[in-house]
């Protein structure tokens, strides 16, 4: 699994508290938030290209790459996760950690989805931005384990990891045909 964090560059002496997390960014000046996210999107585009080159070098094929934020961040500085869509890693050790990256559960907020909030009615944008609070997202980390590929429920992390490895091997085999 490839996993990187992308942090915004601070370009001036403005209020850096806006960069504490996604909640503070989106509840500040909307245009500044959009500009910062556009910069992050450009960084992701460049990083994605590097990851794909490394995928080809190591494995001989490419697969999806996700970019997104955690609904409740793990550290107090705005950061964007960029990771390969396999979730096969020895560092992924518990349900809470896995669920924080599950692409369909709702805790992992895809960058493109966050961008779509800017196109919605102002009241909907404000509602989304204000809703980025721990009580909204933390219960999602306690959801049952399920495979993000097929939705199959798993009773524990070891069985999920074996299942995810099997799914990845199927993807690898299909891509090399």
Buried b or exposed e, range 39-52, using 16+ CB within 10 angstroms: ebbebbeebbeebb
Q: Which residue among 23, 70, 77, 79 is the active-site one?
A: 79
How many CB atoms sit inside 10 A of residue 122's CB?
9
Query: How far is the C-alpha of 168 from the C-alpha of 104, rounded, in Å?
Result: 18
Q: Is residue 79 flagged as an active site residue?
A: yes
Q: Considering only CA atoms, which of 86, 80, 83 is closest in space to residue 9?
A: 80
Q: What are the residues facing 145 on neighbouring strands?
A: 154
From residue 110, how far is each of 11, 37, 66, 100, 102 by CA, in Å? 24, 12, 7, 12, 11
Residues assigned a catalytic role: 79
């Amino acid at each position: 699994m490839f996993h990187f964090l992308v942090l915004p560059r601070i370009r001036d002496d403005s209020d850096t508290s806006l960069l504490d997390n996604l909640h503070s960014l989106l509840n500040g000046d909307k245009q500044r938030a959009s500009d910062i996210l556009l910069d992050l999107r450009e960084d992701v585009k460049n990083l994605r290209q590097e990851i794909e080159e490394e995928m080809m070098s190591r494995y001989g094929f490419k697969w999806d790459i996700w970019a997104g934020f955690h609904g409740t961040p793990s550290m107090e500085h705005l950061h964007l996760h960029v990771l390969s869509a396999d979730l096969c890693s020895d560092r992924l050790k518990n349900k809470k950690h896995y669920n924080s990256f599950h692409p369909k559960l709702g805790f992992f907020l895809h960058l493109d989805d966050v961008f779509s909030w800017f196109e919605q009615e102002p009241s909907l944008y404000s509602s989304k931005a204000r809703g980025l609070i721990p009580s909204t997202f933390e219960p999602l980390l306690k959801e049952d384990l399920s495979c993000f590929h097929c939705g199959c429920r798993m009773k524990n992390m070891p069985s999920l990891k074996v299942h995810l490895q099997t799914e990845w091997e199927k993807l690898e085999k299909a891509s090399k045909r």
